[in-house]
Structure 1
Amino acid sequence: MNNRFLDRLAAAVSPGALLRDPVELLTYESDALVHLRATPGAAVLPRSAAEVQAVVRLCHEHHVPFVARGHGTGLSGGALPVADGILIVLSRLNRILDIDIPNLRVTVEPGVTNAEITRQVAPLGCYYAPDPSSQSVCSIGGNIAENSGGAHCLKYGFTVHHVLGVEAVLPTGDMIQVGGAVLDPPGLDLLGVMVGSEGTLAVVTKATLRLLRRPEAVLTLLAGFGSIDEAGEAVSAIIGHGIVPAAVEMMDRLTIDAAEAAVHPDFPKTGAVLIVELDGPQDEVHELFAIVERVCHASGASTIEIARDAAARDRIWRGRKAAFAAMGRVSPNYYVQDGVVPRTRLPEVLRRIRDLEARSGLRIGNVFHAGDGNLHPLICYDEAIAGQAEHAEAVASEILQYCIDAGGSITGEHGVGADKSKHMSKMFGPNDLDAMRMVRSAFDPAAICNPGKVFPTPRLCGEVPGPYRQHPIERAGLAERF
Structure 2
Amino acid sequence: MPLDGAARRAFEAVLDPQDVLSDPVRCRVYECDGLTGHRVVPELVLLPRTAEQVAAAVRVCAEHEVPFVARGAGTGLSGGALPVADGVVIGLNRLNRILEVDPVDRRAVVEPGVTNLDVTRAVAQYGLYYAPDPSSQQVCTIGGNVAENSGGAHCLKYGFTTNHVLAVEVVLPDGSTVTLGSDTGEQQGPDLRGLFLGSEGTLGIVTKVTVRLLRTPETVRTLLADFPSVAAAGEVVSDVVAAGIVPAAVEMMDALAIEAAEEAVHAGYTIGTPAALVVELDGPAEECGSTFEQVRRICEAHGCTRLHIAGSAEERAAIWRGRKAAFAAVGRISPDYFVQDGVVPRTRLAETLDRIAAMSRSAGLRVANVFHAGDGNLHPLVLYDGAAGETARAEELTSAIAELCVEMGGSLSGEHGIGTDKACSMPKMFSRDDLAVMARVRDAWDPQGICNPGKVLPTPRLCGEPGKYRPHPLEEAGVIERL
Task: Say whether the fold is shared (TM-score over 0.5).
Answer: yes
1:275 partnered with 2:282: no
1:460 partnered with 2:462: no
In structure 2, which of residues 189, 193, 199 is the aligned counterpart of residue 197 of structure 1? 199
Aligned to 1:480: none
Query: 1:223 is aligned with what amino acid?
Result: A
Aligned to 2:222: 220
Q: Deviations over 1:9-45 (max 9, x none)?
A: 0121124110000000110000000001111110001
Aligned to 1:376: 379
Query: 2:151 is aligned with what amino acid?
Result: G
Aligned to 2:49: 47
Asked if 1 retains the 8 angstrom alpha-carbon contact of 2:167 and 2:185, the reply is: no
Pairing 1:200-349 to 2, within 5 Å after superposition:
200-269=202-271, 270-349=273-352
Q: Aligned pairs, how many?
A: 462
Pairing 1:38-437 to 2, within 5 Å after superposition:
38-269=40-271, 270-386=273-389, 388-437=390-439
1:443 partnered with 2:445: yes
Runs of 4+ in structure 1 deviating by more than 6 angstroms, as ranges, are: none
Name the stretch that deviates more: 377-386 or 176-185: 176-185
Name the stretch that deviates more: 197-206 or 400-409: 400-409
CA distance in 1, matches of 2:342, 2:150: 13
TM-score in terms of structure 1 length:
0.95
- 1:183: how far off? 3.1
CA distance in 1, matches of 2:16, 2:317: 40
Asked if 2 retains the 8 angstrom alpha-carbon contact of 1:14 and 1:47, the reply is: no
Asked if 1 retains the 8 angstrom alpha-carbon contact of 2:19 and 2:47, the reply is: yes
The alignment's C-alpha RMSD in Å is: 0.8
- 1:175: how far off? 0.5
Mark the runs of 5 or more structure 2 residues left unpaired by the alignment.
461-465, 471-483
CA distance in 1, matches of 2:456, 2:70: 15
Secondary structure of 1:371 counterpart: helix
Aligned to 1:466: none
Q: Deviations over 1:228-271 (max 9, x none)?
A: 11111111111111100000000000000000000110101211
Asked if 2 retains the 8 angstrom alpha-carbon contact of 1:231 and 1:273, the reply is: yes
Secondary structure of 1:276 counterpart: strand
Aligned to 1:8: 10
Query: 1:231 is aligned with what amino acid?
Result: A
Secondary structure of 2:40 counterpart: coil
- 1:182: how far off? 2.0
Aligned to 1:473: none
Query: 2:377 is aligned with what amino acid?
Result: N
Secondary structure of 2:226 counterpart: strand
- 1:186: how far off? 1.2
- 1:343: how far off? 0.5
CA distance in 2, matches of 1:251, 1:199: 31
Query: 2:362 is aligned with what amino acid?
Result: R
CA distance in 1, matches of 2:116, 2:315: 22
Query: 1:317 is aligned with what amino acid?
Result: W
Asked if 1 retains the 8 angstrom alpha-carbon contact of 2:166 and 2:210, the reply is: yes
TM-score in terms of structure 2 length:
0.95
CA distance in 1, matches of 2:289, 2:116: 29
Q: Deviations over 1:421-454 (max 9, x none)?
A: 0000110011111111111111100100000000
CA distance in 2, matches of 1:383, 1:452: 25
CA distance in 1, matches of 2:66, 2:17: 21
- 1:462: how far off? 5.4
Query: 1:282 is aligned with what amino acid?
Result: A
Query: 1:80 is aligned with what amino acid?
Result: L
Asked if 2 retains the 8 angstrom alpha-carbon contact of 1:38 and 1:80, the reply is: yes
Asked if 2 retains the 8 angstrom alpha-carbon contact of 1:32 and 1:74, the reply is: yes
Query: 2:138 is aligned with what amino acid?
Result: S
Query: 1:460 is aligned with what amino acid?
Result: G
CA distance in 2, matches of 1:4, 1:61: 11
- 1:188: how far off? 1.4
- 1:135: how far off? 0.3
CA distance in 1, matches of 2:206, 2:375: 28
Secondary structure of 2:276 counterpart: strand
CA distance in 2, matches of 1:375, 1:149: 13
CA distance in 2, matches of 1:343, 1:247: 14
CA distance in 2, matches of 1:30, 1:367: 24
Asked if 1 retains the 8 angstrom alpha-carbon contact of 2:344 and 2:377, the reply is: yes
Asked if 2 retains the 8 angstrom alpha-carbon contact of 1:92 and 1:111, the reply is: yes
Secondary structure of 1:349 counterpart: helix
CA distance in 1, matches of 2:233, 2:348: 14
In structure 1, which of residues 23, 31, 34 is the aligned counterpart of residue 33 of structure 2? 31
